[in-house]
Amino acid sequence: MSDREYPARPIVGIGVIVLKDDSVLLVRRGKPPNVGSWTLPGGAQEVGETSEQAARRELLEETGIVAGPLLFAAHVDNIRRDREGRVQFHYTILDFAARWESGDPVAATDVSEAVWAPLSRLQDYALWSEAYRVIDIARSLLAA
């Protein structure tokens, strides 16, 4: 069991929606929760770093990508219960939107793949419903 399972309080998670042309950066998770699932890059905020520092660190560590200015896009509550109804995972996720600045996606740390996914084919990645929602918000924010 990881130190993130059955937490005493919610864990602050950070997600980054990076857009490049008509694509969004996605990663395949290599660790629980959601092993093998496609999602947005991100991870847990560390003590002593701002949410924006955490977003940039996680993005670079997981994918090698550098993003431009970050805009707060949305928050997501991810609460997962075990069979007995106990909270097994509890993340409050802060999602940031950004445009790609440099780098090619290379999977590292706790992801097994990193790709530019065409926005027109996101259904191929079977994302969590909240991921589709925050991607739409990011597209609106970055279009302005």
- For residue 125, how far is the Cα from the chain centroid? 14
- With a CB cutoff of 8 Å and minimum separation 6, the contacts of 112 are 28, 29, 30, 36
For residue 40, give the DSSP letter.
-
Please, are residues 119 and 99 in contact by the beta-carbon 8 Å criterion? Answer: no
pTM for the predicted model, two decimal places: 0.93
What pLDDT is attached to residue 70? 98
pLDDT bracket for residue 144 (50, 70, 90): low
| CATH assignment, 11-139 | 3.90.79.10
Say what the pLDDT of residue 4 is: 87
Q: Which of 35, 21, 41 is nearest to 106 (CA)?
A: 41
Quick: pLDDT tens for 56-78. Answer: 999 999 999 999 999 999 999 99
18-45 pLDDT, tens digit per residue, is 999 999 999 999 987 789 999 999 999 9
Write out pLDDT tens, residues 73-98: 999 999 999 999 999 999 999 999 99
Catalytic residue among 58, 101, 113, 130: 113
Query: What does the pLDDT read at residue 31?
Result: 85
Tell me the per-residue pLDDT of 110-135, one tens digit each, with 9 for 90 and over.
899 999 999 999 999 999 999 999 99
Give the domain ranges of the chain. Answer: 11-139
Known active-site residue 113: yes
The C-alpha atoms of residue 9 and residue 13 are separated, in whole angstroms, by 12
